[in-house]
């Protein structure tokens, strides 16, 4: 079982179902623009609150909630209370692009 440090993500083994991950600290009032990814994305809310839109639906989210977004589905976030969230990307197909993509 390898341990991957956040600055060594290129060492994630090829068998892993996680291709990228991180921890975001977001301030109340901050917005994450409407975007999509070339893989599934998952958020786990550690603390704080917000309003996310994914697959055209809007949800209030808070501590312990998990947001699951399918590859190609646009999503966004409005932070209503200072938030810490862990995110990770699922399997990235060959030639998949990392980061926020826009239509």
- Domain locations along the chain: 33-90
- What is the predicted pLDDT for the residue at 9? 84
* Torsion sign across C-alpha atoms 22, 28, 35, 47: positive
Fold exhibited by the domain 33-90: Jelly Rolls (2.60.120)
- What is the predicted pLDDT for the residue at 30? 98
Question: How far is Cα 89 from Cα 68, in angstroms, rounded to an integer?
Answer: 10
What is the residue-level pLDDT of the chain in tens, covering all 103 positions? 588 888 888 888 989 999 999 999 999 999 999 999 999 999 999 999 999 998 889 999 999 999 999 999 999 999 999 999 999 999 998 899 989 999 9
pTM exceeds 0.85: yes
- What is the predicted pLDDT for the residue at 1? 58
């Amino acid at each position: 079982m390898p341990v991957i440090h956040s600055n060594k993500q290129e060492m994630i083994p090829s068998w892993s179902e996680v291709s990228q991950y991180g921890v975001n600290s977001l301030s109340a009032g901050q917005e994450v623009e409407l975007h999509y990814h070339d893989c599934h994305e998952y958020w786990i809310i550690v603390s704080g609150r917000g309003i996310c839109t994914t697959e055209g639906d809007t949800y209030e989210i808070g501590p312990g909630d998990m947001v699951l977004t399918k590859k190609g589905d646009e999503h966004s976030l409005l932070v209503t209370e200072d938030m810490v969230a862990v995110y990770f990307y699922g399997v990235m197909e060959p030639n998949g692009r990392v980061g926020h993509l826009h239509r």
